[in-house]
C-alpha cells in the first residue's frame, strides 16, 4: 500500500442541478419586467399610479428569489474514499468550508426513509451521522448510496484482505 499516493476508490463532487441557465434567467426577467411595466402603464392610464410600484416590488422579489436559488446551487460536497479514510468536504456560499475525515474501516452508509419525508443518505461513524446529497433526487441518492458502499467495501478489502494464505 503506497501511503504517499493511496489508491482512490471514489472521488466525486456533488452539486445541485441548475434550475436554468444564465441566458434563460435573463429572458425570464426581461419578460417579467416587461409584463410588470406594461401592466403598470395600464394602471397608470386608469389613474392607479401606486400599482406600478407594487408591480416593481413583485419583479424585484422574483429576481431576488432566483438570485438566492442560484447562490444555493453553488454548494458542493466532495467525497473521496481511500483505504485509509473517507474524506468529506462541503462548501456552501457564505459559510466556511467544512471537512470531515473518517477511517474507512468504521464508516457505514445508510439510505434512511423517513415517513412523510424524502430519504436521507447518511454516513455514520460511531454515534455521529452526516447527511449528504440533500439536493439529489431519490434515484440519485439510491445510486450514490450503492456506489459509496461499493467503494468502501473495495477500500476495506485493500486494507484488510480476507485471503490469509500462508
Summarised one tens digit per residue, pLDDT across range 3-50 is 567 789 999 999 888 778 889 999 999 999 999 999 999 999 998 888
Mean pLDDT on 134-159: 89
Whether residues 153 and 106 fall in one domain: yes
Q: Which residue has the higher pLDDT, 115 or 57?
A: 57
pLDDT at 164 over 60: no
**pLDDT over 70 for what percent of the chain?**
92
Range of the domain at 36: 22-72
Grid cell for residue 82? 481511500
Whether residues 45 and 118 fall in one domain: no
Q: Please enumerate in sequence order all residues whose Cβ is within 8 A of that of 17, keeping only pairs 6 or more positions apart, or say none.
A: 73, 135
pLDDT at 166 over 50: no
What backbone torsions phi and psi does residue 24 show, to the nearest 5 degrees? Answer: -65, -40
Q: Collapsing DSSP states into helix, strand and coil, what is residue 97? A: coil
Whether residues 106 and 132 fall in one domain: yes
- Cβ neighbour number for residue 43 with a 10 Å cutoff: 16
Could you give the CA distance from residue 166 to residue 163 in angstroms, rounded to a whole number? 9
Counted domains in the chain: 2
Whether residues 49 and 123 fall in one domain: no
Alpha carbons within 13 angstroms on the beta-carbon side of residue 28 total: 15
CB contact at 8 A, 158 and 7: yes
Whether residues 87 and 155 fall in one domain: yes
Query: Residue 35 has what DSSP assignment?
Result: H
Could you give the CA distance from residue 22 to residue 64 in angstroms, rounded to a whole number? 14
pLDDT at 87 over 90: yes
pLDDT band at residue 52 under the 50/70/90 scheme = confident
Q: Which residue has the higher pLDDT, 116 or 126?
A: 126
Could you give the CA distance from residue 157 to residue 105 in angstroms, rounded to a whole number? 10
What backbone torsions phi and psi does residue 135 show, to the nearest 5 degrees? Answer: -85, -5
Query: Residue 47 has what DSSP assignment?
Result: T
> HEC profile for 103-143?
EHHHEEEEEECCCCCCCEEEEEECCEEEEECCCCCHHHHHH
Mean pLDDT of the chain: 87
pLDDT at 99 over 90: yes
Whether residues 96 and 28 fall in one domain: no
Whether residues 64 and 95 fall in one domain: no
Could you give the CA distance from residue 84 to residue 7 in angstroms, rounded to a whole number? 10
Q: Record the pTM.
A: 0.70
Amino acid at each position: 500500500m503506497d501511503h504517499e499516493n493511496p489508491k482512490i476508490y471514489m472521488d466525486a463532487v456533488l452539486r445541485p442541478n441548475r434550475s436554468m441557465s444564465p441566458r434563460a434567467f435573463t429572458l425570464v426577467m426581461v419578460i417579467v419586467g416587461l409584463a410588470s411595466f406594461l401592466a403598470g402603464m395600464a394602471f397608470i392610464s386608469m389613474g392607479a399610479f401606486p400599482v406600478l410600484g407594487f408591480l416593481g416590488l413583485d419583479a424585484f422579489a422574483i429576481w431576488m428569489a432566483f438570485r438566492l436559488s442560484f447562490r444555493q446551487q453553488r454548494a458542493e460536497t466532495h467525497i473521496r474514499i481511500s483505504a485509509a479514510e473517507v474524506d468529506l468536504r462541503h462548501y456552501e456560499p457564505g459559510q466556511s468550508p467544512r471537512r470531515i475525515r473518517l477511517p474507512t474501516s468504521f464508516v457505514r452508509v445508510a439510505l434512511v426513509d423517513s415517513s412523510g419525508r424524502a430519504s436521507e443518505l447518511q454516513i455514520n461513524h460511531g454515534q455521529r451521522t452526516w447527511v449528504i446529497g440533500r439536493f439529489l433526487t431519490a434515484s440519485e441518492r439510491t445510486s450514490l448510496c450503492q456506489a459509496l458502499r461499493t467503494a468502501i467495501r473495495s477500500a476495506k478489502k485493500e486494507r484488510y484482505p480476507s485471503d490469509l494464505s500462508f
